[in-house]
Structure 1
Amino acid sequence: MSLRVKRMVGNVKAGAEVSAWRPAVDGIVEVLHAYFPSHAYPSHTHDAWTVLLVDEGVVRYDLDHREHGLAQTQVSLLPPNVPHDGRSVRPEGFRKRVLYLEPERLGYDVIGAAVDQPELVDPVLRRRIHQLHGVLADGREPLEAESRLLLVEERLRQHLLRAVSAPPDRRDPGVAHKLREVLDAHLPTGITLDEASRLVHAHPAHLVRAFSREFGMPPHRYLTGRRVDLARRYLLAGRPATEVAQLAGFYDQSHLTRHFRRMLGVTPSRFARV
């Protein structure tokens, strides 16, 4: 996995706001959150897939010499190495969130489809991308980020291939139970989906779907719950919360507290006093 680099936040020009970073998630080249009150992008290209959400305003852009518009209900998918520009339709500017994905994640075979139809009206896809941005901004849930990224990529591929429906809802309890064993064996240290897929001998996206169908929750949620259980045992054994967070596999004490309170309704320190 790539290393997280320093996050950059600042005013670019005339009230513009930019926050950009590279998360420790394989496949994501960059995350960009920005507000531009007046900036207009000249024609340019990226060597990555650009997955764009507009949160405020309306954006107009030319892609391969054809004009397109993007509003808040849509997702824009711009292919690598295809020229495009960008500008606000409204005088108040626009606010956006962008994921830049390595070109191999979606493949080169669907670039033409993205050029033909870069705007996608799909509330489920937009919600998944929004949730992924939240996890990436937090930076403390790598397994959840990987899982959510795979689901986003899968749905994007479905659109690009003009699939009418998702793949069949196929159960695979053997794979699901093998993955659970792997997760249980890596509670404190954690494991990436790519590493788990090599151990279970199944594609990462299939791992997420098979596990969710069998156990009613995605792998990252199961792992978090098991870590909270482990934290409870350490707390009841008299270990301090600062030490328990590391022993149970959480990023830090605040990370432990957030998940502990969400699951049990009390903080770790309060739980240990009950």
Structure 2
Amino acid sequence: MAPAHPAPRHPAPRRDVTAWRPLVPGVTEVFHAHFTEYAYPMHVHEAWTLLIVDDGAVRYDLDRHEHGTPGDTVSLLPPHVPHNGEPATPGGFRKRVVYLDGTHLGDDLIGPAVDTPDLRDPLLRRRVGQLHTALVRPGEELEAESRLTLIGERLTTLLRPRKATGTRRDPALARRLRELLDERVVEGLSLEEAAGLVQAHPAHLVRAFSGAYGIAPHQYLTSRRVDRARRLLLADRRPAEVAALTGFHDQAHLTRHFRKLVGVTPGRYARKTPVR
């Protein structure tokens, strides 16, 4: 009698999840997941669901209509509208989700989002990816907030198209924001706080500043902090101490931006004698 062959072994279903709540106004949760076989039953969320899929695809039902999420789309699911979800490809899917309150998206967008939840827009897809990059890095809250306000503006434009009017320059507003950033290089400030202080919409504030100075507010603040860090390092202060004195989250946060702007790490920057 021939020996019995063991049944082929199938990989166990994969369910890898990371979730956290960042210190970014408007964001109630960030959710990164890799599922191979898991299927969501019908459910609702209190918040808006902003979803991108990095690998594989998801199929889901929203308001009794079937939808899908290939990798080049951004899906926006409105609050309180039932939906489900399951893998649409054999290997499952990897997704990144941001759950948003009503700060950046109004209730008037719920109807359009139900009708067109999957948006194929390269600019929006790139911005959402940049937002997630900022969200996973402690200390980049101002960048995340700035990117999120432009995402909200883009979503509104796509779901409620309006005639283009061009970008209105506002040098006085840009100068006021620069003064606020200069006053708070170390402690920093959120975009929401800045918008309240200067009485401007956050998206207009970001655009006015970038248009006037050719740099985003978070990039300006980071470069000011790096400049201050250079002076302290040349005064023989240790990198960990310098990070705390210049507003960076920690030494790793300082090192990442210092290397990007100066070309070397803080530890290699200050030398007792010049290198010939």
Structures share fold, TM-score greater than 0.5: yes
TM-score bucket (shorter structure): over 0.9
Question: Shift of residue 138 of structure 1?
Answer: 1.1
1:48-63 → structure 2 map (5 Å cutoff): 48-63=47-62
**Which is higher, the Rg of structure 1 or of structure 2?**
2
Question: Shift of residue 272 of structure 1?
Answer: 1.2
- Range that drifts further, 259-268 or 120-129: 259-268
Q: Give the whole-Å Cα distance in 1 for the aligned partners of 2:188 and 2:92.
A: 42
Percent identity of equivalent pairs: 58
Question: Shift of residue 36 of structure 1?
Answer: 0.8
One-letter identity of the residue aligned with 2:97: V
Q: Is the 8 A contact 1:194 1:204 kept in 2?
A: yes
One-letter identity of the residue aligned with 2:27: I
Q: What is the CA deviation profile of residues 210-238 of structure 1, one whole-angstrom value per residue up to 9, with x for unaligned ones? A: 00000001000000000001111111222
Structure 1's 104 and 263: CA in aligned 2 closer, same or farther, altered over 3 A? closer
Q: What is the CA deviation profile of residues 44-93 of structure 1, one whole-angstrom value per residue up to 9, with x for unaligned ones? A: 11011101101111211110001111100111110000011111122211
Partner of 2:96: 97
Question: Shift of residue 183 of structure 1?
Answer: 0.2
Unaligned runs of 5+ in 1: 1-12
Match 1:208 to one of 184, 196, 206 = 206
Partner of 1:7: none
1:7-26 → structure 2 map (5 Å cutoff): 14-26=13-25
One-letter identity of the residue aligned with 2:209: F
Match 1:225 to one of 223, 226, 229 = 223
Structure 2 SS opposite 1:152:
helix
One-letter identity of the residue aligned with 1:157: T
Q: Give the whole-Å Cα distance in 1 for the aligned partners of 2:98 and 2:210.
A: 25
TM-score (norm 1): 0.92
Partner of 2:82: 83
One-letter identity of the residue aligned with 1:46: H
TM-score (norm 2): 0.91
Unaligned runs of 5+ in 2: 1-11
Q: Give the whole-Å Cα distance in 1 for the aligned partners of 2:116 and 2:213.
A: 37
One-letter identity of the residue aligned with 2:234: L
Q: Give the whole-Å Cα distance in 2 for the aligned partners of 1:216 and 1:54.
A: 32
Q: Give the whole-Å Cα distance in 2 for the aligned partners of 1:46 and 1:139.
A: 26
Question: Shift of residue 164 of structure 1?
Answer: 5.7
Q: Give the whole-Å Cα distance in 2 for the aligned partners of 1:219 and 1:231.
A: 18
Partner of 1:147: 146
Aligned residues: 261
Structure 2 SS opposite 1:103:
coil
Q: What is the CA deviation profile of residues 160-199 of structure 1, one whole-angstrom value per residue up to 9, with x for unaligned ones? A: 213364x521111000011101100000111111211222
Which consecutive segments of 4 or more residues in structure 1 shift more than 6 A? none
Structure 2 SS opposite 1:53:
strand
Structure 1 SS opposite 2:71:
coil
Structure 1 SS opposite 2:270:
helix
